Amino acid sequence: MTDTQSKIAVVTGAGSGIGRAVALELLRTGWSVALAGRRAGTLRETAALAAGAPSLVVPTDVSRPEEVAALFTATVDRFGRVDLLFNNAGTFGPGGVPVEDLPYDAWRHVVDTNLNGAFLCAQTAYRTMKEQDPRGGRIINNGSISAHTPRPHSVAYTATKHALTGLTKSLSLDGRPYRIAVGQIDIGNAATDMTRRMRSGVLQANGETAPEPMMDVADVARTVRHMAELPLEANMQFATVLATGMPYIGRG
């Protein structure tokens, strides 16, 4: 939050899942939100779910520098500044593919979306926050439990989420002189369309397939809002929110 207590956010991947849940939580609690994502139709659906709240739909492919630049230009033109970037857009890539069979194009698509897209959005947010008056803002990167521990056959997704942690640390350090606070939320088994298959069973490290516990995505959204509404003198560097019983801590 800035000294003027303005609340202007950019949320990527806002057309579904965690991005939609976070955008709606922010809109519900007084934020103005630029909704970014590849599909204009799903972004408009998100905006309609918070009818009357100040939102802006900006179709954006985060892997394209010119589209990311246009996203932030549109946000500043509409709302005057950017106080928060929730860097959320991402993809799992093809599921269940052994590393030796993963097509290079599939690898590149995951890297371009999860890592390059996150960098481009953070870089453009950084420039915006550094130049605006009052200076500063907050970036929250959406990591994953995979930023700590991989699932079988998830080499592209896991590699990008580990890299995202390095991005978070570097941005956090470099943002200090400019009142830019950067943190990361690592999420495990939030119930969304992307994670629906976990209810019926997913491959475990021991080779078995088993269903996993899930949690309400609204619990993730509330955590992101808590991180977002800290004063810029305080930063939640890393937060982990996961379904209590998922096979992560210990041996399952």
Give the phi and the psi of residue 193 in degrees, each rounded to 5. -60, -35
| d(C-alpha 200, C-alpha 19), whole Å | 23
CB 74 within 8 A of CB 34: yes
Total length of the chain: 252
Q: Which residues lie closer than 8 Å to 144 by C-beta, 6 or more apart?
A: 157, 161, 186, 187, 188
Q: Which of the following is catalytic: 104, 157, 178, 248?
A: 157
For residue 130, what are the β-bridge partners?
Answer: none
Tell me which amino acid residue 154 is. S
Question: Going edge to edge, which strands form the sheet with 137-142?
Answer: 55-59, 32-37, 8-12, 84-87, 137-142, 180-188, 238-242
Question: Does the annotation mark 104 as catalytic?
Answer: no
Instruction: Please identify every residue annotated as catalytic.
Output: 157
